């Protein structure tokens, strides 16, 4: 392994101070492993609005600072390969670290001041899953597990955490505390030890009278990771802290629903970002089977039903990682391939990397009738002067459009002309002028009024006559 450090720029002008940073950590770590680098150094670049991006989506400036200090910065140390970090005071200070990085930078193509890119959302995780890459387990620093054991010593009962959401924004997603309380009251206290982790927005929550609270976990993300990893089960209303349980390979149940006014819970988000369909009750393919979404409201009856089902399936906490959910249908596979393809299109538009090609090939393997990645691979092969490969791929595309096929493009697009013309251009680059002429003649039969096509035919005839 190289001794080189990967410098990871989390630019707060385009990235939020939120639990989404944990997804960024995983994407950065995947990039490090892919490039065989030794460790990671995180650089937090301040935004232009009091240090942040100023979109007013959910948090005010003081809440942003709290999230940075309590969640984002300490989360770096959950990653075993983290070497260090710097939270900069001025944006131009990023130049020093950029020069020090000597090209080993994440996100890809990030350049301070001039090319500000972000990469903290789920499509990158989907693309990595298609490439058969594995996520790294986040875990608390040394000493935290001992603190958890001293606070919650083993007494023969199974530890269950309940993480409450009581945010002042997107309030429809907040925990139905009375329903959860009703559910918890019927659990056998001789079998289960219940620990409530309140929202940092309401640490004084006292609804769950008679149950133990762990407020330190609300304020200390390392403590939160430690208790989630110790627990038999962690239960959530859809909430950022669930990422801590997810990426620490801890068992979890998450109540999830569609909310049209909440950008992170719309149908469009689930289809185009998360690569799942809530109405099909999809589970994330890369999640472990003891990490589940519950696509129902958090009523006491629903909570009781899903809990009993979980206990029946997982009577004991798994010692080793549980197998993943995988794709639950061809439609689920298609959503994932579509999300990964759109992600790769954006990432490769600035600079093509081998991981982009690997992702496209993985998509083609999973969905052979998905025409867009085949065409993109053909264009890449053409640029790399792998002419025979490009011609074969364009022929495959032409064969596909004669039957049923998948596409992200406008279905009314003139695929025949695009694919055949691309093939003709490759043949011409390969100096196979007679074959290229044949392709243009075939195109002209469908488009007898296309002057550019006839100009090409004339040009190629002239070349052949000269030869």
Q: Answer whether residue 349 is part of any domain.
A: no
Query: Domain check: are 71 and 180 in the same one?
Result: no
pTM as predicted? 0.95
Q: In a 10 Å sphere around its CB, with 0-12 CB exposed, 13-18 middle and 19+ buried, how is residue 271 labelled?
A: middle
Task: Specify if 350 maps to a domain.
Answer: no
Residue 275, domain member (yes or no): yes
As beta bridge partners, residue 237 has 255
Q: What's the CATH number where 378 sits? A: 1.25.40.10
Q: Which domain holds residue 35?
A: 5-120
3 state DSSP class of 102: coil
Cα atoms in the 13 Å half-sphere on the side-chain side of 154: 5
Q: CA triplet 40, 45, 49: central angle to 5 degrees?
A: 155
| CATH number, residue 303 | 3.40.50.2000
Residue 165 located in a structural domain: yes
- CA-CA distances (angstroms) from residue 297 to 197, 233, 239, 257, 292? 20, 19, 14, 7, 14
Q: How many domains does the chain have?
A: 3
Claim to verify: residue 175 and residue 227 sit in the same structural domain: yes
Whether residue 109 lies inside any domain: the answer is yes
User: Is residue 296 located within the same domain as residue 396?
Assistant: no
One domain for residues 92 and 194: no
Same domain for 148 and 265, yes or no, is yes
Boundary (domain end) residue, out of 266, 291, 313:
313
Q: CB within 8 A of 433, min separation 6: which ones?
A: 427, 460, 463, 464, 467
Assess whether 40 and 166 both reside in one domain.
no
For residue 54, what pLDDT is reported?
78
For the range 65-73, what are the long-range contacts, defined as Cβ-Cβ under 8 Å and sequence gap of 24 or more?
65/17, 66/200, 67/17, 67/18, 68/17, 68/44, 70/200, 70/219, 70/220, 70/221, 71/17, 71/18, 71/19, 71/21, 71/221, 72/10, 72/17, 72/18, 72/21, 72/44, 73/44
Whether residue 460 lies inside any domain: the answer is yes
Residues 163, 289 within the same domain = yes
Strands 158-163 and 192-197 turn out to be parallel
Do 101 and 236 lie in one domain? The reply is: no
* CA–CA distance, 420 with 257 (Å, rounded to integer): 45
pLDDT below 50 — which residues of the chain?
none
CATH code of the domain in which 90 resides: 3.40.50
Last residue within a domain, chosen from 284, 313, 342:
313
The total number of residues written for the chain in this structure: 467
Q: Domain check: are 107 and 203 in the same one?
A: no
Last residue within a domain, chosen from 313, 345, 360: 313
Q: Say whether both 187 and 307 belong to one domain.
A: yes
Residue 2 has a pLDDT of 65
Answer yes or no: is 336 within a domain.
no
Domain identity same for 211 and 293: yes
Residues 303 and 373 in one domain: no
Q: Is residue 179 part of a domain?
A: yes
């Amino acid at each position: 392994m190289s001794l080189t450090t990967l410098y990871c720029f989390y630019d707060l002008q385009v990235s939020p101070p939120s639990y989404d940073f944990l997804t960024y950590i995983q994407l950065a770590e995947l990039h490090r492993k892919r490039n065989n680098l030794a460790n990671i150094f995180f650089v937090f670049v301040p935004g232009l609005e009091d240090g942040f991006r100023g979109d007013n989506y959910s948090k005010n400036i003081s809440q942003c600072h709290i999230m940075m200090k309590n969640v984002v910065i300490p989360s770096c140390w959950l990653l075993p390969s983290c070497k260090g970090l710097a939270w900069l005071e001025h944006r131009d200070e990023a130049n020093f670290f950029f020069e020090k990085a000597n090209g080993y930078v994440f996100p890809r193509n990030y350049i301070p001041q001039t090319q500000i890119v972000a990469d903290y959302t789920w499509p990158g995780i989907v693309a990595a899953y298609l490439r058969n890459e594995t996520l790294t387990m986040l875990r608390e620093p040394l000493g935290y597990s001992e603190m958890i054991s001293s606070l919650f010593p083993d007494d023969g009962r199974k530890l269950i955490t309940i993480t409450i959401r009581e945010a002042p924004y997107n309030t429809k997603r907040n925990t139905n505390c009375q329903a959860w309380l009703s559910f918890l009251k019927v659990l056998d206290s001789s079998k289960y030890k219940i620990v409530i982790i309140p929202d940092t927005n309401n640490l004084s929550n006292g609804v769950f009278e008679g149950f133990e609270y762990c407020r330190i976990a609300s304020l200390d993300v390392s403590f939160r990771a430690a208790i989630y990893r110790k627990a038999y089960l962690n239960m959530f209303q859809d909430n950022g802290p669930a990422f801590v349980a997810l990426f620490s390979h801890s068992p979890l149940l998450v109540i999830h629903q569609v909310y049209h006014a909440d950008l992170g819970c719309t149908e469009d988000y689930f289809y185009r970002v998360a690569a799942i369909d809530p109405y099909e009750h999809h589970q994330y393919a890369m999640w472990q089977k003891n990490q589940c979404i519950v696509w129902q409201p958090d009523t006491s009856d629903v909570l009781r039903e899903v809990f009993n089902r979980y206990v029946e399936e997982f009577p004991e906490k798994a010692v080793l990682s549980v197998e993943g959910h995988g794709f639950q249908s061809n439609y689920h596979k298609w959503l994932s391939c579509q999300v990964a393809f759109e992600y790769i299109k954006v990432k490769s538009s600035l600079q093509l990397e081998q991981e982009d090609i690997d992702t496209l090939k993985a998509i083609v393997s999973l969905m052979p009738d998905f025409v867009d990645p085949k065409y993109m691979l053909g264009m890449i092969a053409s640029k790399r002067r792998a002419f025979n490969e490009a011609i074969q791929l364009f022929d495959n595309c032409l064969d596909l459009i004669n039957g049923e096929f998948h596409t992200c493009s406008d279905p009314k697009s003139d695929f025949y002309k695009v694919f055949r013309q691309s093939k003709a251009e490759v043949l011409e680059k390969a100096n196979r002028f007679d074959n290229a002429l044949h392709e243009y003649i075939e195109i002209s039969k469908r488009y007898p009024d296309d002057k550019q096509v006839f100009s090409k035919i004339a040009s190629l005839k002239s070349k052949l006559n000269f030869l």
